[in-house]
């Protein structure tokens, strides 16, 4: 699987301080059926840490992209075989601030072993200058995908990867959850976002945004949006030849404020738990903020 070759460094301008840490930890890979605290052990243990801090009067651009896919079988055969589970975590973010004063900080951590497997904390403050062309646009998206072909020998090989797993049978399942937020052409704002995703333990995706007018102004101009979509399907049989659809879950939400606005807050979380197979991890004990 691709590791550091898919990671591209920060593009930073003006007064910038950044620390980038990348670690690949060689370990002995456990057997296919092994579990890591409720999920399949990642075959690609790694650690990526990026800390960014920017203070600038002018223009700032910043972007980051992360895509991690792993399987307990053969990822390259493009085929979901018997008892195979595949998981993917994706994250993309970009920011473009023009003609204004910018304060920006970001903490990025991707961990192939510990949970959450992905955690990003971003803070941005922006006040447009008097040129009438100043504005901030930033977009952030995170996604989690898990596919399980199902097992007939009990829960020792599937763990958390099926939402409705029961008794000694784990039917096939497919989970897809995405969430994100966007600020578009905003003139004055302070915004804070937190994103966490995990698949190696009880699957969970969380994204939250808090935004308010900055710089002493009562209102901000522009558009702010946030939303989440969840699509989960689960089979109704443990047979390795017949998998009738047993249940389907769909959920979507989007909130948008456009024009003159004072504050905007939205917090979204998707969690998959399997009480019959294995007790899900109690993470986190306190909500992220």
Structure-block tokens of residue 106: 């970001």
- Confidence (pLDDT) at 161: 47
Q: Alpha-carbon Rg of the chain, whole angstroms?
A: 21
Specify whether the CB–CB gap between 41 and 199 falls below 8 A: no
Structure-block tokens of residue 156: 């020792």
- Confidence (pLDDT) at 240: 62
pLDDT tens, per residue, the chain with 289 residues: 322 222 223 332 233 444 444 343 332 222 222 233 234 555 568 999 999 999 999 999 999 999 999 988 888 887 777 778 889 999 999 999 999 999 999 999 999 988 899 999 999 999 999 888 899 999 999 999 988 877 655 544 444 444 444 445 667 788 899 999 999 999 999 999 999 999 887 789 999 999 999 876 678 999 999 999 999 988 777 666 667 788 889 999 999 999 999 999 999 999 886 544 444 444 444 454 3
- Confidence (pLDDT) at 182: 96
DSSP 8-class letter at 85 = E
Give the distance, in angstroms, between the CA of residue 254 and the centroid of all CA atoms in the same chain. Answer: 17
CA–CA dist 165, 146 (Å, integer):
14
Structure-block tokens of residue 192: 């804070």
Specify whether the CB–CB gap between 75 and 69 falls below 8 A: yes
∠ at Cα 163 (161, 166), nearest 5°? 100
Q: Using alpha carbons, select from 39, 234, 242 the residue that is nearest to residue 155.
A: 39
Instruction: Identify the residue whose tokens are 């040129």.
Output: 131
Structure-block tokens of residue 100: 């204004």
CA–CA dist 173, 117 (Å, integer):
21
Within a 10 A sphere around the Cβ of 252, how many other Cβ atoms? 10
User: pLDDT digit string (tens) for 195-223?
Assistant: 999 988 778 999 999 999 987 667 899 99
- Confidence (pLDDT) at 239: 66
Strands (E), the chain: 15-24, 35-36, 39-40, 46-71, 85-111, 118-128, 135-148, 173-186, 188-198, 204-212, 220-235, 245-261, 263-271
Structure-block tokens of residue 160: 């958390």
The 3-state DSSP class for residue 146 equals strand
CA–CA dist 275, 12 (Å, integer):
46
Phi/psi of residue 74, each to 5°?
Answer: -105, 110
Within a 10 A sphere around the Cβ of 209, how many other Cβ atoms? 25
């Amino acid at each position: 699987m691709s590791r550091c070759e898919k990671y591209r460094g920060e593009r930073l301008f003006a007064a910038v301080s950044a620390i980038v840490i990348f670690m690949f930890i060689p370990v002995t890979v456990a057997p296919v059926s092994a579990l890591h605290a409720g999920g399949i052990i990642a075959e690609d243990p790694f650690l990526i840490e990026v800390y960014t801090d920017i203070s600038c009067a002018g223009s700032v651009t910043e972007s980051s992209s992360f895509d991690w896919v792993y399987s307990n079988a053969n990822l390259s055969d493009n085929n979901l075989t018997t008892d195979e589970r595949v998981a993917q975590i994706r994250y993309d973010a970009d920011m473009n601030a023009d003609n204004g004063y910018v304060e920006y900080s970001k903490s990025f951590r991707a961990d192939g072993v510990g949970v959450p497997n992905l955690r990003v904390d971003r803070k941005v403050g922006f006040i447009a200058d008097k040129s009438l062309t100043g504005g901030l646009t930033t977009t952030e998206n995170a996604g989690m995908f898990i596919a399980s072909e199902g097992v007939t020998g009990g829960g020792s090989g599937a763990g958390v990867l099926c939402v409705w797993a029961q008794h000694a049978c784990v039917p096939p399942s497919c989970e897809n959850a995405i969430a994100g937020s966007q600020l578009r052409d905003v003139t004055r704002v302070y915004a804070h976002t937190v994103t966490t995703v995990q698949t190696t333990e009880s699957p969970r995706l969380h994204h939250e945004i808090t935004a308010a007018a900055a710089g002493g102004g009562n209102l901000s101009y522009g558009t702010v949006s946030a939303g989440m979509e969840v699509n989960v399907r689960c089979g109704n049989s443990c047979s390795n030849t017949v998998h009738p659809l047993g249940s389907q879950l769909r959920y979507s939400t989007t909130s948008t404020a456009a024009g003159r606005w004072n504050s905007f807050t939205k917090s979204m979380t998707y969690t998959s738990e399997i009480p019959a197979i294995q007790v899900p991890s109690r993470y986190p004990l306190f909500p992220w903020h």
